[in-house]
Amino acid sequence: MISERAQRLKYVAGDYITANLAWLGYNCARFAMGGVRGYQSLHTFLTSDVVKLEQVVFPLIMMGVYYLSGYYNEVFRKSRLSELMTTLSSTCVNALITFFIALMNDMTADNRAFNNESVLVLLGIMFALTYVVRAVITGYTSHKIKSRQWSFKTLIIGDGAAAYAFVGKLEHMRASLGYDIVGYVHIPGENGVKDIEKPRYSLDEVAGVCQREGVKELIVVPTKQDSAQLLSAINRLFSINLPIKITPDKYNILLSRARLSDLYGDPLIDISSSNMSAGGQNMKRFCDVVISAVAMVVLIPVYIAVGLIIKCDSHGPVLYKQERLGRHNKPFHIIKFRTMVENAEQQGKPQLSSDADPRITRVGHYLRKYRVDELPQFFNVLRGDMSIVGPRPERRYYAQQILEREPAYSLVHQIRPGITSMGMVKYGYAQNVDEMVERLRYDLLYLENMSLINDLKIIVYTVKIVFTGRGV
């Protein structure tokens, strides 16, 4: 069985080779079409310094677009139709980028037909070469999986009648889906099948089993399971950082707009990642990195000024670190400007703040009102702990209380938490657990409607808060 890294390398290498061949082929076609001036022969044109530089730069630009399209995110179970559409859309983007960067000088205003033909030739060559190589790799991979030569070790979460029947269907399918079932996991409160051939584990053993057996996926198949218990169990699975799929008839609270991962056989819903497309996720992360890097440079004077004001106002460090729960329930240390007195939690028990909290310093009131205390979190974004827009990260102490009152809270761990969020701009800071649960409604709404456009809207509203000190 080939590794995921090696499989991804196949696609990357294939795309890089075809990107170079496409650019070389287009330059040959461009010369033959009479779109190049000042060169005596094709050899002279292809060996010129400008074309040599283009042969290096443009394939790299194409590879950047292919990465942002999300094509490399899933490398084993690709949809043929999605592959076709992704290849077509990304090659169209590459053709437009190439046109505006390199080919504008070759275009003639008195011959629009040639202009259009030139772009279409580039698109045709690029798409044909790229798609053929991708289709060959995908077809070979699909054959290996369906013929049971390649498989992925999988744990079934649930050991009741539904789980047992589900595994039976998988094992008797004519063409395999690639699941190699290594065992079942008992969900508390569920009646497990007594005589079961494969090993049975508890939820506490899942992490160890996954590491020991090399498990690649988790499939949740409960039998008439209470939604609160089910979501509580799923919350414990997020920290394992593996794909989690569930049968749709049990996925009741967020079934709308759920993302199907399999259509052949019993359909499964991926609940370990957001509804946003793979390309959208890559673009979101790309924007996070670029915006955060620029912001940290631009805000250097602000960081220095705020740091000096905090130092002059009260004793203690300028920055404040606190453990929060992030993507896949993993802990990280959030970085903020200190707005409270030093050692504000002397009793060792987490305490929420309020507007009249005596622990908040004079400067801290203004920093919190205008969200200036959040600015150092751009470093968390660069490090990959957070996103610019995402659900509010909470401390484990409060996360457990929220989960007890609202089991759907576990779903916010699908994505990175954010510096700002729909909950923060619509609700603001929470002063107790009840208000945290109330604010959670906006975070769940954001999960169901994730898009770069909605992120932009939330950022605009956040800027409004920074300048006015009020929410929306």
pLDDT band for position 196 (cuts 50, 70, 90)? confident
Whether residue 340 has pLDDT greater than 50: yes
Structural tokens at position 322: 């606190």
Q: What's the mean pLDDT in 399-420?
A: 87
pLDDT band for position 61 (cuts 50, 70, 90)? very high
Whether residue 150 has pLDDT greater than 50: yes
DSSP letters, 310-349, are HHHHSSS-SEEEEEEE-GGG-EEEEEEE--B-TTTTTTSS
Q: Which of 203-212, 258-267, 385-394 has the lowest mean pLDDT?
A: 258-267
Nearest residue to 360 via CA among 347, 373, 376, 375:
373
What are the extents of the domains in the chain?
4-146, 152-270, 278-468
Whether residue 202 has pLDDT greater than 60: yes
End-to-end CA distance of the chain: 53
CA distances from 311 to 307, 321, 342, 466 (A): 6, 16, 12, 22
CA–CA gap between residue 95 and residue 93 (Å, rounded): 5
pLDDT band for position 211 (cuts 50, 70, 90)? very high
Whether residue 289 has pLDDT greater than 90: yes
Q: What DSSP element (H or E) covers 217?
A: strand 217-220
Which positions ≥6 away from 389 have C-beta within 8 Å?
418, 419, 420, 421, 446, 454, 455, 458, 459
What percentage of the chain exceeds 90 in pLDDT?
46
Q: What's the mean pLDDT in 163-190?
A: 89
Residue-wise pLDDT tens digits, 212-261: 999 999 999 887 656 677 777 888 888 888 888 887 765 454 444 455 55
Q: Share the mean pLDDT of the chain.
A: 86
Residue 106, pLDDT score: 54
Please give the residue that has the higher pLDDT: either 98 or 144: 144
Q: Which fold has domain 152-270?
A: Rossmann fold (3.40.50)
Residue 236, pLDDT score: 83
- Are the C-beta atoms of 310 and 338 separated by less than 8 Å? yes
Residue 407, pLDDT score: 77
Amino acid at 357: D
Q: What DSSP element (H or E) covers 400?
A: helix 396-405
Q: Which of 54-63, 132-141, 247-256, 261-270 has the lowest mean pLDDT?
A: 247-256
